[in-house]
Structure 1
């Protein structure tokens, strides 16, 4: 039979395929919708702020703010995928920040190695917290909501008790580099080199994919959308670097470039994506979230998977605490207050289902960008802090409602 050209059918498939080319994976168009929403937020905020929102300085600051939330959101996604929740992440950031401050300023004052000792202590502390909470959830069978709510209250007050609520500042100069700022950046040339490295990796990946498919006898080893995917990521990398380089060091013409928190976020996003999509552990996580009973019948140790997820969440909370504490150059017991709202909202807005079994790391990053963009816009517009929290809480409820409606209308 002669094939019939159907333009309507092709156009209906274009946007999902474009999303897949951009790296979203699958045919979930919610991520594309979130990117469109993000663009509308940016355009509206830029108009309302008289062009300040999209200025290089604000975008540089926005990249630092997004890094902290997105790092934790990448772990929260796996927690939610397994049908659990972690309400203690904000308190973990505050507690671990005070712990790191004490290591640098009280326990090892003036020690040149204090910065990495503090960093290791914060990461180990986060993993220990995750281990304790994971054991209670996975093996003691206490609901994660109760366990992590208790962790939220315990750790927030423990942070206060560690140093009687006193802010510890300043911190080790080397440690401050991890938080960005004037010294925590790559500079212009190295930032361009990073963009070139991304391009080289994409070209290498395309070549490897071409050779692998050719050996398998596939007639068209590379499709147009494979090339489109590489082009989108290359343009994104060079465009982002161009924006970061357009922000100059105060009083000079020297480009700031990519900040270290952004590099940390990129590394976390790549590693977590590989872990979730390519590694056996990631497949087990989604299997447990999809149907825990069926996962047990296939031989998956569901309790161990849940435990590992909480330990990983604790590690990422420690990493986020390092970035935030270094950026503030101070360790305060109140750091990270209400941050669990941003992290959970970022995961849900990015397409992670609260029913479990579905979510992407890239979606969580987009969700974090939306949440921080809204907050940044409200700050620039002079909106009071309580009203900001009210708006963001409303956004979280709206995101959950959209997720519920999407799941009800999704074909089985």
Structure 2
């Protein structure tokens, strides 16, 4: 006689008990393969602390926007204007720092308030543009493809007019801290943040386990839970150790000591640590993940993407939801503009060109279904990392730009094809 309350399936054993995301493992595996291949092709120059440090700061801007593109695509829309919106937000922030603050308010560059006022203005501009796009799509029912294609042309040239076509720089010193190499946590600060992150991840995993037990949901064996925690903690601390291993050039250290009227001790070294732009990306990823999984707004997004008609009949205001999603995308474009222009130390007319294609590709490679309803924030970030790894690796081994674009385009098509096969074999909904 069997117990009717017993689970219908037998408990998993071995590595299956870990219940790891096979899609996530596949993307991580793809990144590892790409890194090893380019390292061999470049004579060991790809997998180095310096190159991987540069790779992270180059990925940050696109990855931040890719998290927002997940929501856009999940709701069966598209945004072709993100690169141009980034340019407009960058222009607004650059003009705020170099014209509005000094000339209108009498506060010069590098005033303690300058960078923060500029960032607020940029975010307001991005949110306004995004909300306007959302209104056209949600309330006037103009297809998002057309609205954002128009936005691609409009906002790129609005940015040009805001700056009279000039490169604006250098930017505020505090503002430049968000760019990467000009702003890092240092070795000690990076270890502190890494340990805090490892502790937070451990707590989150145990809290999830307690929540499942409290609702009588099946959980992993304790050894499997501890193994997953060990993998996560090792990944976080290994990432910190890798970035800490990239040392500041001695000539830079010497100039720093000379500026303070000191002599640099013989044999003194110092690591860069984790870039502030990466900390910003991690914070964005956490917030977007919480929105997607823990809020009503997030549930409405995925419900609308899964079945728009059913969502509207169930009482979801899909029109206002569209406005909110595009406004959020605009905010993320502004944050990306901070990272991108700070890394360049100026605003230039070509900032963000082709970013719309990179962002969409990152989301799709990361597993976001173009038919809507399915997508993850961490997948989009790894997709952005894979895209940047391909471009950086090909540039390192001397592949010319046209062939780079051919390869990236081919990888995008291949990723979608693999995703289709994966969904058919696993029974996932298209």
CA distance in 2, matches of 1:245, 1:104: 32
TM-score by length of 1: 0.91
The equivalences for 1:243-258 within 5 A come to: 243-251=242-250, 252=253, 253-258=269-274
Residue in structure 2 matched with residue 225 of structure 1 by the alignment? 224
Work out whether residues 17 and 221 of structure 2, in 8 Å CA contact, stay in contact via their aligned partners in 1.
no
Q: Deviations over 1:111-161 (max 9, x none)?
A: 412211111111111101101100000110000000000000111111112
Q: Deviations over 1:263-285 (max 9, x none)?
A: 00000111111110111111100
Work out whether residues 81 and 354 of structure 1, in 8 Å CA contact, stay in contact via their aligned partners in 2.
yes
TM-score by length of 2: 0.87
Q: CA deviation at 1:77?
A: 0.4
Candidates 84, 87, 99, aligned match of 1:106: 99
The equivalences for 1:285-364 within 5 A come to: 285-364=301-380
1:144 equivalenced with 2:137 (yes/no): no
CA distance in 1, matches of 2:425, 2:221: 34
SS class of match (2:352): coil
CA distance in 2, matches of 1:98, 1:127: 15
CA distance in 2, matches of 1:333, 1:96: 12
Work out whether residues 72 and 343 of structure 1, in 8 Å CA contact, stay in contact via their aligned partners in 2.
yes
Give unmatched runs, 5+ long, in structure 2: 3-8, 103-107, 254-268
Residue in structure 1 matched with residue 259 of structure 2 by the alignment? none
Q: Deviations over 1:5-28 (max 9, x none)?
A: x99x8579467x123xxxxxxxxx
The equivalences for 1:82-231 within 5 A come to: 82-109=75-102, 110-111=108-109, 112=111, 113-182=113-182, 184-206=183-205, 208-209=207-208, 223-231=222-230
Work out whether residues 61 and 336 of structure 2, in 8 Å CA contact, stay in contact via their aligned partners in 1.
yes
**Which structure is larger by alpha-carbon Rg, 1 or 2?**
2
Work out whether residues 202 and 233 of structure 2, in 8 Å CA contact, stay in contact via their aligned partners in 1.
no
Residue in structure 2 matched with residue 74 of structure 1 by the alignment? 67
Work out whether residues 214 and 221 of structure 1, in 8 Å CA contact, stay in contact via their aligned partners in 2.
no
Figure out how many residues of one structure are paired with residues of the other and give that number.
399
CA distance in 2, matches of 1:35, 1:221: 22
Q: CA deviation at 1:408?
A: 4.7
CA distance in 2, matches of 1:114, 1:222: 53
The equivalences for 1:263-302 within 5 A come to: 263-302=279-318
Give unmatched runs, 5+ long, in structure 1: 20-28
Q: CA deviation at 1:201?
A: 1.8
Q: Deviations over 1:249-304 (max 9, x none)?
A: 11151111000000000001111111101111111000000000111121111111
CA distance in 2, matches of 1:75, 1:220: 31
SS class of match (2:179): coil
Work out whether residues 175 and 326 of structure 1, in 8 Å CA contact, stay in contact via their aligned partners in 2.
yes
